[in-house]
Structure 1
């Protein structure tokens, strides 16, 4: 890829950009030389990646270790029916190369962790966080802070979304200025638990792509110190002021954090509750093979259960559990699983409090079970 000029095919492709004051050929070349790391190719990462690819950002790095599930397709528009069961990165790369064959798509098939975060962030100009858990958000924030790279943040919940840019090196606050400490396990339900209207991540993810392009082109005003809040039901946007926290333990003069390896970033992304009895999926398999009596409860939603399930499991969605506790025996082992371990941990906590002493969480949930079996 020649970063110094635009080919005839590229000039035709980006013709509408070339005529915009503030972009033009110089700006398009700037995009061509730029690189963006996207954490996640799900609801937010899908539209962001599509529009960055279409805009001609020269290098897109994708971080994901998940596989496409049918329940993803309602909002994760990078993927289609033919991708179900395949690694998300395979599906994403094919789609992005179809959108724009002139760009480079680099696949990082792993979770974004303290072991790889610094190396990944260092290789790109900015980061778009499309994650859905607090530890990864803290980690992306910390890694970008130490690397002096802008972080384009987005989040969604049912009919509401948020967007901002965290960049202390540009004069704005960091994520820890907005959220100083890790919320307790269960404080924020996942999309599977709470639901999300499929078009909502499309709106917020597209806004993330817009802010990334503005940063790369150095045009306009990015929302440093502003949290954009979108309410789909009221068709309204409002902006909340975010100020740098003078006591922030990462970006203030009183900072105490010196590494991306800290209590928040080292927390399990499933945010499993502490002091909950648990077993691994290997131990679950041993229980199944042993023939010893046990009860297996699946606390996911019906559509998740219909797509993949562990043999012998009984479906009791977490939101129905308080009213169905009488269906669960008070003696013997009650093994509980969800997708990744967070919902099942909360279910086990409820069961223990309700007099079901044999309740045990299956750590890692069905994701770990499928990965173990190579499904």
Structure 2
């Protein structure tokens, strides 16, 4: 696709990067991304994906804004309390960048609707606040061959990973965390707490990995988890091995 004069101006700082250039920006403008969760991770991720010119954003979250969200969910203001998160986030995208088509879906992902909510996109960015949803999203992305960027926060820690578990030798998110977290009763940041700026770092990082996946610059991050500890502070990267017994991407078991 050809970029307009306004787009050449808007995305000039991308275009001058040899790793992105005009061709990479065109890929972004043609891409569709579903963002699961419009919370502490989703808010900054949505902002940076919109600013980057990702052509279509589908925002999926069933929650409404509460006062205790405002410490970290930076798209929302006090007067937004009680309104649907996806509606306010979609309005922000429209203000940020008219190049981006945005769809707000106020729904909770479950097995009955996940194919409708996440199907047909080029990438899923998951910022859900519970393991059950993250594993459900991962399993769907693996089966549908949709690249997944998954981000999680807790207290002072960030985990960001990219997953393409259908590819030979590559793990999925379930290979990383196993089957023990499918239940809905796992701890969330509501119980454990989270530093607001940690969510900002996680969402920005997840947006970076989404852009990396779409454009294809730098080292391929698939199968790696980046763990940042804000208390130290310190960063380490884990290369995850594929679990041959994984229920999502492992080898079929003989009957």
TM-score, reference length from structure 1:
0.65
Task: Please state how far the C-alpha of 1:11 moved relative to its aligned partner.
Answer: 1.5
Task: Please state how far the C-alpha of 1:142 moved relative to its aligned partner.
Answer: 0.8
Task: Report what 2:191 is aligned to.
Answer: 193
Cα 1:24–1:241 change in 2 (3 A) is closer
Listed as ranges, the gaps of 5+ residues in structure 2 are none
Query: Are 2:127 and 1:130 aligned?
Result: yes
Task: Please state how far the C-alpha of 1:99 moved relative to its aligned partner.
Answer: 1.3
Query: Are 2:230 and 1:232 aligned?
Result: yes
Query: Are 2:85 and 1:80 aligned?
Result: no
Q: Deviations over 1:247-274 (max 9, x none)?
A: 1122111359xxxxxxxxxxxxxxxxxx
Cα 1:97–1:186 change in 2 (3 A) is closer
Listed as ranges, the gaps of 5+ residues in structure 1 are 257-375
The farther-off stretch of 85-94 and 113-122 is: 113-122
Task: Report what 1:297 is aligned to.
Answer: none
SS at match of 1:16: helix
Larger radius of gyration: 1
Query: Are 2:70 and 1:70 aligned?
Result: no
Query: Are 2:100 and 1:106 aligned?
Result: no
SS at match of 2:83: coil
Task: Report what 2:171 is aligned to.
Answer: 173
Task: Please state how far the C-alpha of 1:165 moved relative to its aligned partner.
Answer: 0.9
CA distance in 2, matches of 1:162, 1:20: 27
Task: Report what 1:182 is aligned to.
Answer: 180
2:116 alignment partner, one of 116, 119, 122: 119
Cα 1:17–1:186 change in 2 (3 A) is closer
CA distance in 2, matches of 1:192, 1:179: 21
How many residues align structurally?
253
Task: Report what 1:23 is aligned to.
Answer: 20
CA distance in 2, matches of 1:203, 1:228: 12
In the alignment, is the contact (CA less than 8 A) between 1:23 and 1:217 conserved in 2?
yes
Task: Report what 1:213 is aligned to.
Answer: 211
SS at match of 2:166: helix
Task: Report what 1:34 is aligned to.
Answer: 31
CA distance in 2, matches of 1:252, 1:64: 30
Task: Please state how far the C-alpha of 1:182 moved relative to its aligned partner.
Answer: 2.6
1:246 alignment partner, one of 241, 244, 247: 244
Task: Please state how far the C-alpha of 1:169 moved relative to its aligned partner.
Answer: 2.9
Cα 1:109–1:183 change in 2 (3 A) is closer
Task: Report what 1:373 is aligned to.
Answer: none
TM-score, reference length from structure 2:
0.94
Task: Report what 1:267 is aligned to.
Answer: none
SS at match of 1:30: helix
SS at match of 1:22: coil
In the alignment, is the contact (CA less than 8 A) between 1:248 and 1:254 conserved in 2?
no
Task: Please state how far the C-alpha of 1:218 moved relative to its aligned partner.
Answer: 1.5
CA distance in 2, matches of 1:219, 1:119: 30
Task: Please state how far the C-alpha of 1:212 moved relative to its aligned partner.
Answer: 0.5
Task: Report what 2:149 is aligned to.
Answer: 152
SS at match of 1:169: coil
RMSD: 1.7
SS at match of 1:10: helix
